[in-house]
Structure 1
Amino acid sequence: MRIATLIPTDVAAYRALMLEAYEQAPDAFTTTADEREAEPESWWVKRMGSAVGLATSFGAWQGSSLVGTVALKYSAKPKTLHSALVLGMYVQPEQRGKGIGLALLNAAIAAASARPEVLALTLTLTEGNAPALRLYRSAGFVSWGTQPQAIRTSAGLKGKVHMSLALSKSHAPEA
């Protein structure tokens, strides 16, 4: 397995994997597969981002197959530069339990930590997703609240659990 920053030439594999994610784990995302399938390739390239832009995506590769992904979204606003959002986390079901999710999270944490202005990561997960909760906790994320009735699923309304991770900074700016 290889973890790498996704680049524009990976867009077809990224799009296919994320459309699979929206189909396989619809309760995990606030967007539907139909909504995302309608997006043009340019939207997907922008969503993937780059190592230096306002978004960065990482992929887990088994040979030439993209089997997992996670993304970071950075803020351009001066008052929120210190926090980045983790989103689009997905590992194919047959690849789970092999450490891929944690490897992807560690790549995202390392990338965010390399940006001096980023002091924390945040994310949300759908209430009741115990495997995701265990994964995020194993990477050091802590829960700090739940937004009730945040998304409508086939099983009814579900909450979104909010989590964050303070990044270790040797030269963190004074508050």
Structure 2
Amino acid sequence: MHFIEPGMPPIRILTAADASAYRSLMLEAYEQAPDAFTTTAAERRAEPESWWIKRIGSAVGLATSLGAWQDEQLVGTVALEYSAKPKTRHAALVLGMYVQASQRGQGVGLALMKAALAAAASRPNILSLNLTLTEGNEPALRLYRSVGFVTWGIQAEAIRTDAGLKGKVHMSLALPMPRTEA
């Protein structure tokens, strides 16, 4: 599945063949934006290739990762995690959002979020998306609000950063109900 937005790098669902590029980009993310993630670069660097392949997922499994490509290089990514539990199958988790610094401010993040929304909406029975972001990450907060996410709570002192303890902002987005034929 490809997501084309005029003037934007092409976005597509990542596959196992993209594991090396995905690992490299995400390790960059953990290094460049350590406060945005609850995992450290050192923790993820230790993961075997099989972990990265599982994290990428597939269009039909319990995880789907999307990537924005510029000149054959992965420059941005976002992932969706789906629940296998019957009581929580209706909601998906948005995670691992990152755009390289050279690509920021050009709409790549927005295009990735729109692609993630489309991917989630294409799955049967997904009614809502949830995410967290680190308190104080105003660019991410603006991006998520721009596509309709609303804040419903803040977990105080959720992560320890070099700057001290920071909260995690919890946000949700209700997807449109699927239309049924009359």
TM-score (norm 1): 0.97
d(CA) in 2 for partners of 1:109, 1:11: 22
Checking the alignment, whether the CA contact within 8 Å between 1:113 and 1:169 is kept in structure 2 is no
Match of 1:23 in 2: 31
Determine the structure 2 residue equivalent to 1:79: 87
> For the residues of structure 1 that align with 2:94 and 2:71, how far apart are their CA atoms?
25
Which runs of structure 1 show a deviation greater than 2 angstroms over 4 or more consecutive aligned residues? Answer: none
1:148 aligns with 2:152: no
Task: Determine whether 1:139 maps to 2:128.
Answer: no
Letter in 1 for 2:10: R
- Aligned-partner Cα distance in 2 for 1:128–1:82: 29
1:115 positional shift: 1.3
SS at match of 1:102: helix
Task: Give the corresponding residue for 2:101.
Answer: 93
Alpha-carbon deviation of 1:169?
1.8
For residue 63 of structure 1, report the CA deviation from its aligned partner.
Answer: 1.4
Residue 58 in structure 1 maps to residue 66 in structure 2: yes
Question: RMSD in angstroms over aligned alpha carbons?
Answer: 0.8
Q: Residue by residue, what CA displacement relative to the aligned partner does 1:111-133 show, whole Å, maximum 9, x if unpaired?
A: 11111211000000000000000
SS in 1 for 2:87: helix
Q: Which runs of 5+ in 2 are unaligned?
A: 1-8
Determine the C-alpha separation between the residues in 2 that align with 1:97 and 1:152: 28
Distance 2:57 2:123 in 1: 15
**CA distance in 2 between partners of 1:115 and 1:10 (Å):** 22
1:169 and 1:117 map into 2 onto residues whose CA distance is 9
The number of equivalent residue pairs is: 172
Cα distance in 2 for residues equivalent to 1:19 and 1:110: 26
Cα distance in 1 for residues equivalent to 2:66 and 2:96: 10
Separation (CA, whole Å) in 1 of partners of 2:178 and 2:60: 21
C-alpha contact 1:11 1:44 (8 A) present in aligned 2: yes
**In 2, Cα distance between the equivalents of 1:14 and 1:168?**
30
Question: What percentage of aligned pairs have identical amino acids?
Answer: 73
Q: Which amino acid aligns with 1:49?
A: G
The 2-side partners of 1:43 and 1:106 are apart by: 26
Give CA-to-partner distance per residue, 1:46-80, whole Å, 9 cap, x none.
00000000000000000101000000000000000
- Secondary structure of 2:136's partner? coil
